[in-house]
Structure 1
Amino acid sequence: MREVRVFELEHSEPVAAWQVARPTIFKVISGNIWLTVEGEHEDHWLAAGESIELARGSVAWISAGQAGARFALASGSERKLPTLLLGWPMPAWLARRPGAV
């Protein structure tokens, strides 16, 4: 079984940090996403239809392009969604990154 969750991110929202507990597919549904993975030398600009696999243990920073963006996080039976750090109440199935504000 595969779990897919869809999120919307407005351009005006602050950059969000995600910590990946298990491999996760990050796919842009609409708009553009700027994504930086800690430890990588290059940023990623992803457009609608593009995706990237986030490795277990990685930390990704994301922001939406001018028109905002919708994206999906897909996990399978061996995958877990990353943690979003924005300061709003988090669903029980997500846990905050240790040491995050």
Structure 2
Amino acid sequence: MREVRIFELEHGEPATAWRVARPAIFKVISGEIWLTVEGEHDDHWLAAGESIELARGSVAWISTGQAGARFALASGSERKVRNPLPGWPMPNWLARRPSVV
């Protein structure tokens, strides 16, 4: 199961820091976002339709451009598919995970 949250950030709001609890995709829906991840050398300017993957445990600082922005944060389950029959090969259809769009 995936969780998707949608946020709005207005121009002039202070930069916000998030600690990422589990791997996530950050995608800009409208507007423009400035994003920096602690420990990385470069900042990211993301426009509508652009996305970035955020690793578990990272800290991301987020701010917006002049027009404000809407963005989505999507995370999925970290649960791995376990072979129910140890010692037997796992069928391909069982090991397959749904693709993320």
Between the two proteins, the alignment pairs up a number of residues equal to: 79
Give the structure 2 partner of residue 35 of structure 1.
35
Q: Which amino acid aligns with 1:58?
A: S
* Structure 2 segments unaligned to the other structure (5+ residues): 80-101
SS at match of 1:26: strand
Q: State the Cα distance separating 1:78 from its structure 2 match.
A: 2.2
Give the partner amino acid of 1:66. Q
What is the CA–CA distance in structure 1 between the aligned matches of 2:78 and 2:69, rounded to whole Å? 27
Give deviations 1:33-65, integer Å, cap 9, x for gaps. Answer: 000000000000000000000001100000010
Percent identity of equivalent pairs: 89
For 1:18 and 1:47, the matched residues in 2 are separated by 19
Distance 2:22 2:5 in 1: 15
State the match for 2:53 in structure 1: 53
Residue matched to 2:23? 23
Alpha-carbon separation, structure 2, partners of 1:26 and 1:45: 12
Q: Which amino acid aligns with 1:36?
A: T
Letter in 2 for 1:25: I
Structure 1 segments, 4+ long, off by >4 Å, are none
Correspondence 1:12 to 2:12: yes
CA drift at 1:76: 1.1
Unaligned residue ranges in structure 1 (runs of 5+):
80-101
Counterpart for residue 65 of structure 1: 65
